[in-house]
Structure 1
Amino acid sequence: MNDVAESKGMELTSVFAAASARADQWRHLNALARAWAGAGGQGARATKLRDQCGRLMQSINRFEYCWAYPGARLLEAIRAAHAGGDAAAFARLVQKVSGAMLSGDYRQHESAWQAGAESEVSLLDALPPDADGGAQARPYFEVLVVTPTDPASWQRSSDDMRRMRRSDDQFLYAPVHVGSFEDAALAAMLNSSLQAVVIVDGFGYDSAHAIPDMKAFLARYFDVDRDDIEPGRLATKLAHAIKLARPELDLYLLSDRSPEKLAGSEEAAPIRRLFHHVEEPMELHLALLEGIRDRYETPYFDNLKKYALRPIGTFHALPIARGKSVFSSNWIRDMGQFYGSNILFAESSATTGGLDSLLEPTGNIKRAQEATARAFGAKRAYFGTNGTSTSNKIVVQAICKPGDIVVVDRNCHKSHHYGFVLSGAQPYYVEAFPLTQYSMYGAVPLRTIKHALLQCKAEGKLDRVKVIDMTNCTFDGHMYNPRRVMEECLGIKPDLVFLWDEAWFGFARFNPLHRRRTAMGAAAALTARYRSKAYRDEYAKWKEANAGGELDPKDASLLDKRLMPDPDKVRIRVYQTNSTHKSMSAFRQGSMMLIWDEDFHHVEGTFQEAFLAHTSTSPNLQLIASLDLARRQMELEGYAMTMQMTDLAIRIRQAINTHPLISKYFRVATPEEMIPAEFRESGIKDYGEPNATWDQIIDAWDRDEFALDPTRLTLICGAAGFDGTQLKGMLAERFDIQINKTSRNSVLVQTNINNTHSDAALLIKALADLSSEIDSRLSQHDSAAQAVFDARVKSLMVDVPDLPNFSRFNDAFREDPRSGSNEGHMRPAFFMAYDEANCEFIKLASNDIDKRLADGPDMVSANFVIPYPPGFPIMVPGQVITADTITYMRKLDVKEIHGYQAAQGLKLLKPSTLTTSKASSTH
């Protein structure tokens, strides 16, 4: 946020992460307050600064009621110092608040809440020693209290709640009081420190605060019509609304209605516990702590800590357990010094003694997976300890059998393709839209997916189409609209299974912006939609207008028509894999499989078989524990962290693209550049002002076919004369900045919950230094040097190779060569290559390739060929190789191409092996 924005205050229509914007305002007020105090309190400058402080303080005060800290007393003291012209006191108090917000001192020290003399009274008494023998502070959180009582009594109520703290409480909390539906909804979205909401029946709807942009802000997250709320049901309506927007929060209701009747109703579904008004307050206090404890508990990690403290003799096949072979060694003792003792004491190959078995969990792993399902909004969850590569193969093998057709993005991760080889499923490859200028693909248009389904229907094999398999979001940040994709596909075949590879997107569950584009979010939304009377009425009208719901697969208009499934036939069957380690605090290879499958009982056995087939009998205990901990963190602070990382990404984007020097050579690609206009109905061009308000962005995410995840920044470096690999190496070697993915003329800057403002500054400073060097170098050279530079830029940004599409499977691997659909038997092609006699090699530069392309016979790939970057397979086993694929390979300047050895050449299946009889026998 720039100085102009800070001085005018926090406008809800333009702010995304309120915590970051609020902290910016307090820091700016701190600077103004110090300047006012330094001006001596007299004169025109002092008067101007005092007025600026007053205006900014007035803006800040609009929203401070949404947070417990600094609280009414401290805010009143600040206002009084300003009104009295006491610049020194004003500056001292503002600095106290700003500093405590930055450091978090208010969570630990009572003095941070006091306007008077400083004291070192600790707010947080130390807990008993933890498993490591050290003391730890009690975690702090805030509780929203929505109440009809007189605001004059709220401070007394807060004091009463604080007095209920006990020395043996595991957590500490501070209350935040509001008096209306609107104020409660606003606080729930602004205050990321909230962990619970206490709703006291009897409050009103309208806010008493004059915030002109409040209603527009709330409309982002809450679909509530106050005129539709029945009398007496405002409290439960609020509970439902908050649970949709912040599903992790615990909700409690205090009502003078009969709680025993309300408890069993649908109204009370989101409420954790109901109390009668006259209940003992201590019961509510204990209930609040118990709710946090349920989410804080990490069954596997907690047990592993206890296990590490036990005096165990190990007579199993893991010498490193307990660390004696390490610490007594003359040669690897440094291993123990580096890693520490805990990781060795917490190792075992046993599944007894409370450690549980990942392959057949009955204890703490089972409970950890149940907690994960709850946190991620799934019906079931399974832990994966060999990365999402293995998780994808488990799911594919569990839900597919030989002969099943899978409509799949040809550019998906290679694990999906190998899954088809293992399962015998036949991939029907569909193409994503190309971004040729960046040498990358986007995502698969819905029209393309529908065409594949209708093609199969026309040929009488729709019954064999089992799965739609897509990557959401893609490596480069392209997000599908899963609700729309699933609804329209289910309109063609109501029992389709969906596999969404959300390897990069696991964090998305934990904020309402990203959640709307997730598989589990879509599964929940569609389940509720199809069970509602409103949908039945909507479907009845659609059915009447569309030939009774009978779809003619030859009707081309269906590709552009909104399709709807029959609510009596539709089944919600959704699988999501996520690489927890890619976006959350888990060790490398930590993965999760999340399931929302109404027919899981039909595949539970095969899922278990696939899980056993691919999961090691010696899974890494630390990986399991880190998955348990990642869930805990995301459920308790994922909302705050994901909002802040998104906000930081947008700041980086704006800082780079508006910098007068950096933007000459580097820029972050915009949604307008990364998503063709036909898939952006909203017309949105970029994130953040002046390009779009957050209201417009959220509207775009609700309507557009594809959206771009703002946390994934495609940094275009070709205009600086660098290809992606060059810039990646330079950032690592010179600036200690690590980048993962590159393309011909870009690198991917992936922000995550680990990033800070300091990280952002490091990146921007590096780009500024590089830009300055390029500018200086070009200004000192003659026109010939400039021409060389321009030629390099042209080769990277203009002379880019066309991207090859999937061609077709050779007829030997198709059941009906006359078919218009392109599914094929990849498994026999894959295993035919195991016999060297079936294979031949042709050098890429050889004229033989051009002759074969011109005169035949077909060249048929014997294996997968995957260049890195960009990382998608340009050849799969059994695929006919065409001229555009060869041209693309010849123009590639990357060193890493999986499945291709330049010294040998392309590995092909010999034409003589591709007779129909031989291929069929391999089927």
Structure 2
Amino acid sequence: MPEHALPHCQAIIVSADSQWRDSLCQRLSELEARAEAENRCCELSISGLDTPDLLMEQARIDGALQCVVLDAASVPDVNVVVSQLRAVRSELDVFIAASSGQAPADDNAAVVDRDDTRAEILLRRLRRAIAKRASTPFADTLREYIEGARDAWHTPGHSSGDGLRESPWVADFYRMMGEHVFNADLSVSVQELDSLLDPSHVIHAAQDLAADAFGAKHTFFVTNGTSTANKVIVQHVLGSSGKMLVDQACHKSVHHAAIMSGVDPIYLPASVNEVFGLYGPVSKQTINDAIDAHPDARLLVLTSCSYDGFYYDLEPIIRRAHDAGLKVLVDEAWYAHGYFHPDLRPCALESGADYVTQSTHKMLSAFSQASMIHVADPEFNESRFREHLNMHTSTSPQYGLIASLDVARKQMSMEGFTRLERCIVHARELRSGIAETDRFRVLGLEDMLPASLQGDSVRLDPTKLTIDVSRAGCSARELQKSLYEKHSIQVEKITHNTLSVLVTLGTTQSKVLRLLKALRSLARELPQKPTPAQAPSVLPAIGDIVIPPREAYFGPSEDLPLSDESHGINRSLIGRTSADQVVPYPPGIPVLVPGQRISEDVLDYLLDLYHGDSGIELHGLMRHEGRGMLRVTCSLNDEL
């Protein structure tokens, strides 16, 4: 007997022919009732419906639904129904019972012979389809290897934890982490676990299942984060030269890719909501103008959704880019969940993106650093791409990360819709409950959207909640500290007057209640006369790039202080060229990139942050004897 009850799955037969439908349902149900439990991955129930409309209603509410059989003889426009069904539930296995000459247009829909529909064979096919999606080829192989308790005469040196377990000095770490963390930390010497650098069996199978689940032609697992994934794609598409159009607010890894690959970035200014310090997408008009102004550009890089949940209307942007001959990379680090609920679609791949990177660990159930690259580029050169990927991939990958990607894919394929529906309900409850405090509110799209994006059909991910605390009577940083110290609650990030929380697959009803209770308590304790927090200065747009980023970064340089002796800006920096990338975090958007001419407004902005108490880190700003230092180039351009 299994340790846990088998999950319940539902299969639906859709046909207006009640005699055929009811007879088939009855035979399938009888066979299912006689099936032996050890041969099943789920409890499967079979029922029938008359019309596709009833099927759509069921698909929108029933997370247990996993398989659908459509009767082509009685369902009008069966191919249209398949398309509509996939728009609601992309993960479902669809079978079409067809007579000769009724083959479906959808290549992913399986065909069964309506005139010879033997229940035994159909049940096996339904079960096989569910079992395939529920399989975890790599994670299962890893588990079997661990359970074999083999002696390790290979790396890593802790040898399944034996190097720590009996140590008087570090055994506490072994106990804290747990036995299987070390048992699963293995080596490429274990050939049955395949090779991430050249997968041919279980990793290859796991990646193929992920491609099917996320709607890609090819999927690649990445064990050192989406930062590496972005660098790989820029290198693959552009090589060591070429021009890319890139959102200023993109992740710093894209800026790093420009340095490493020597490409020429054309920065598109991020939109900004100055009231809340939120940075949004680039406007459609700005993107179109940049495409027209740079006909030699070969890559467009966009971030969708953003840290705060802004999501582009991607399809017209991608179509415009493709018409101009550009490939499109969409950084979906914060939106790996988007494909698995109709309220969150369409995602980037559905909108035509050539390459999509996702931090599977951010919103799904993978370990930190575990990411995926999804590819739909019709001109994709897999061999060449793999060489680029392997250049950035460790030859000693963490097998636990790979297994977590396999398992995270399985979870979304089997219960992603149900889990996300729960997330959306939790988010709705939080919005309502927070509003009732009268001191805090969750911002809506109309509150957050920068004015320049009105009419761009930008959407907001409902699982990312930005809480306005401007009426709290204290700064967001003080409120963050109170939540942590008094109520053991850690939020995702803050601005000067907002807190951000994420509703993920791991959000529970008890966590929702504790957060609401904490905010109600703080609302009663806080001063009744709110003191508005002072808004920070707006992030300056990236200025003129006067030296290629790679040349600026690797060329001769010197370090100069950010401030002068009177603690004002060091005016000798004005007009010099930055040799480094300087990134305030949050929001994580560069204010300086290598090769950029330094302006007075940038220096004012950095000095305010350096001397302020906002909690914002300044990545790339050096410190020497208590003074902030900028690395600048020694170049003829600095004298112009």
Could you tell me the TM-score, scaled by structure 2's length? 0.93
CA–CA distance in structure 2, aligned partners of residues 437 and 770 of structure 1: 23
Structure with more contact order per residue of length (Cα contacts < 8 Å, sep ≥ 6): 2
Alpha-carbon displacement from aligned partner over 1:615-663 (angstroms, at most 9, x marks no partner): 1111100000000000011011111112221232122112222x1xx22
Which residue does the alignment assign to 1:898? Answer: 619
Give 1:146 shift.
1.3
Matched, 1:673 2:447: yes
1:727 to 471, 479, 492: 479
Alpha-carbon displacement from aligned partner over 1:124-178 (angstroms, at most 9, x marks no partner): xx23xxxxxxx34322211112133549958956853553433333121112321
Q: Is the 8 A contact 1:860 1:881 kept in 2?
A: yes
Q: Is the 8 A contact 2:22 2:48 kept in 1?
A: no
Alpha-carbon displacement from aligned partner over 1:587-639 (angstroms, at most 9, x marks no partner): 111000111111112xx344223212211111100000000000011011111
CA–CA distance in structure 2, aligned partners of residues 451 and 335 of structure 1: 56
Matched, 1:804 2:540: yes
2:560 to 841, 847, 867: 841
Q: Quick one: which amino acid aligns to residue 169 of structure 1?
A: N
Instruction: List runs of 5+ in structure 1 lacking aligned partners.
Output: 1-125, 128-134, 205-232, 457-461, 524-572, 682-703, 779-785, 814-824
Q: Quick one: which amino acid aligns to residue 730 of structure 1?
A: S
Change (3 A) 1:254 1:872: same
Q: Quick one: which amino acid aligns to residue 315 of structure 1?
A: W
Partner-residue secondary structure (3-state), 1:872? coil
Which residue does the alignment assign to 1:242? Answer: 85
Q: Is the 8 A contact 2:244 2:299 kept in 1?
A: yes
Matched, 1:656 2:431: no
Which residue does the alignment assign to 2:223? Answer: 385
2:194 to 350, 356, 362: 356
Matched, 1:745 2:481: no
Which residue does the alignment assign to 2:282? Answer: 444
1:196 to 63, 67, 84: 67
CA–CA distance in structure 1, aligned partners of residues 510 and 143 of structure 2: 33
Higher strand share: 2
CA–CA distance in structure 1, aligned partners of residues 278 and 598 of structure 2: 20
Give 1:202 shift.
4.5
Which residue does the alignment assign to 1:586? Answer: 366
Give 1:433 shift.
1.2
Change (3 A) 1:483 1:156: same
CA–CA distance in structure 2, aligned partners of residues 759 and 481 of structure 1: 32
Alpha-carbon displacement from aligned partner over 1:85-136 (angstroms, at most 9, x marks no partner): xxxxxxxxxxxxxxxxxxxxxxxxxxxxxxxxxxxxxxxxx23xxxxxxx34
Give 1:353 shift.
3.6
Alpha-carbon displacement from aligned partner over 1:529-561 (angstroms, at most 9, x marks no partner): xxxxxxxxxxxxxxxxxxxxxxxxxxxxxxxxx
1:180 to 51, 57, 64: 51
Matched, 1:489 2:263: no
CA–CA distance in structure 2, aligned partners of residues 762 and 340 of structure 1: 28
Q: Quick one: which amino acid aligns to residue 249 of structure 1?
A: L
Q: Is the 8 A contact 1:649 1:711 kept in 2?
A: yes
CA–CA distance in structure 1, aligned partners of residues 138 and 518 of structure 2: 42
Matched, 1:146 2:14: yes
CA–CA distance in structure 1, aligned partners of residues 214 and 61 of structure 2: 21
Which residue does the alignment assign to 1:207? Answer: none
Q: Quick one: which amino acid aligns to residue 770 of structure 1?
A: L
Matched, 1:909 2:632: yes
* Rg larger for: 1
Change (3 A) 1:252 1:899: same
Which residue does the alignment assign to 2:552? Answer: 829
1:298 to 136, 140, 147: 136
CA–CA distance in structure 2, aligned partners of residues 763 and 917 of structure 1: 52
Q: Is the 8 A contact 1:304 1:355 kept in 2?
A: yes
Which residue does the alignment assign to 2:595? Answer: 878
2:345 to 515, 519, 526: 515
Which residue does the alignment assign to 1:479? Answer: 311
Of 142-151 and 186-195, more deviation after overlay is shown by: 142-151
Alpha-carbon displacement from aligned partner over 1:335-390 (angstroms, at most 9, x marks no partner): 44333333333332134441111111111111111111111000111111111111
2:333 to 485, 488, 503: 503
CA–CA distance in structure 2, aligned partners of residues 278 and 302 of structure 1: 36
Which residue does the alignment assign to 2:396? Answer: 618
CA–CA distance in structure 2, aligned partners of residues 281 and 157 of structure 1: 6
Change (3 A) 1:596 1:351: farther
Q: Is the 8 A contact 1:467 1:499 kept in 2?
A: yes
Change (3 A) 1:918 1:608: farther
Give 1:770 shift.
0.5
CA–CA distance in structure 1, aligned partners of residues 447 and 9 of structure 2: 42
Alpha-carbon displacement from aligned partner over 1:447-480 (angstroms, at most 9, x marks no partner): 1111112222xxxxx22x1111111100011101
Q: Is the 8 A contact 1:243 1:270 kept in 2?
A: no
Change (3 A) 1:168 1:616: same
Q: Is the 8 A contact 1:379 1:594 kept in 2?
A: yes
1:716 to 444, 455, 468: 468
Give 1:238 shift.
2.4
Q: Is the 8 A contact 2:544 2:597 kept in 1?
A: yes
Give 1:328 shift.
3.5
Q: Is the 8 A contact 1:321 1:346 kept in 2?
A: no
Partner-residue secondary structure (3-state), 1:600? coil
Q: Quick one: which amino acid aligns to residue 361 of structure 2?
A: H
Q: Is the 8 A contact 1:666 1:715 kept in 2?
A: yes
Which residue does the alignment assign to 1:20? Answer: none
Q: Is the 8 A contact 2:272 2:450 kept in 1?
A: no
Query: How many corresponding residue pairs?
Result: 631
2:36 to 142, 160, 166: 166
Q: Quick one: which amino acid aligns to residue 808 of structure 1?
A: D
Change (3 A) 1:717 1:844: farther
Give 1:397 shift.
1.7
CA–CA distance in structure 2, aligned partners of residues 862 and 678 of structure 1: 31
Give 1:521 shift.
1.2
Partner-residue secondary structure (3-state), 1:860? coil
Partner-residue secondary structure (3-state), 1:747? strand
Give 1:440 shift.
2.6
For 1:462-473, list aligned pairs within 5 A: 462-463=295-296, 465-473=297-305
Change (3 A) 1:399 1:156: closer
CA–CA distance in structure 2, aligned partners of residues 652 and 473 of structure 1: 21
Give 1:722 shift.
3.1
Partner-residue secondary structure (3-state), 1:242? helix
CA–CA distance in structure 2, aligned partners of residues 671 and 414 of structure 1: 26
Q: Is the 8 A contact 1:508 1:515 kept in 2?
A: yes
Q: Quick one: which amino acid aligns to residue 805 of structure 1?
A: A
Change (3 A) 1:168 1:279: farther
Partner-residue secondary structure (3-state), 1:630? helix
Matched, 1:864 2:638: no
Alpha-carbon displacement from aligned partner over 1:730-774 (angstroms, at most 9, x marks no partner): 212211212122112111111111112222211111111001012
CA–CA distance in structure 1, aligned partners of residues 148 and 428 of structure 2: 48
Partner-residue secondary structure (3-state), 1:748? strand
CA–CA distance in structure 2, aligned partners of residues 148 and 891 of structure 1: 70
Alpha-carbon displacement from aligned partner over 1:769-811 (angstroms, at most 9, x marks no partner): 001012xx54xxxxxxx5xx53xx1x43xx442331112123x
CA–CA distance in structure 1, aligned partners of residues 277 and 549 of structure 2: 26
Of 194-203 and 143-152, more deviation after overlay is shown by: 143-152
Q: Is the 8 A contact 1:180 1:203 kept in 2?
A: no
Of 281-290 and 269-278, more deviation after overlay is shown by: 269-278
Partner-residue secondary structure (3-state), 1:185? helix
Q: Quick one: which amino acid aligns to residue 285 of structure 2?
A: R
Q: Give identity over the alignment, percent.
A: 30
Change (3 A) 1:844 1:327: same
Change (3 A) 1:497 1:237: closer
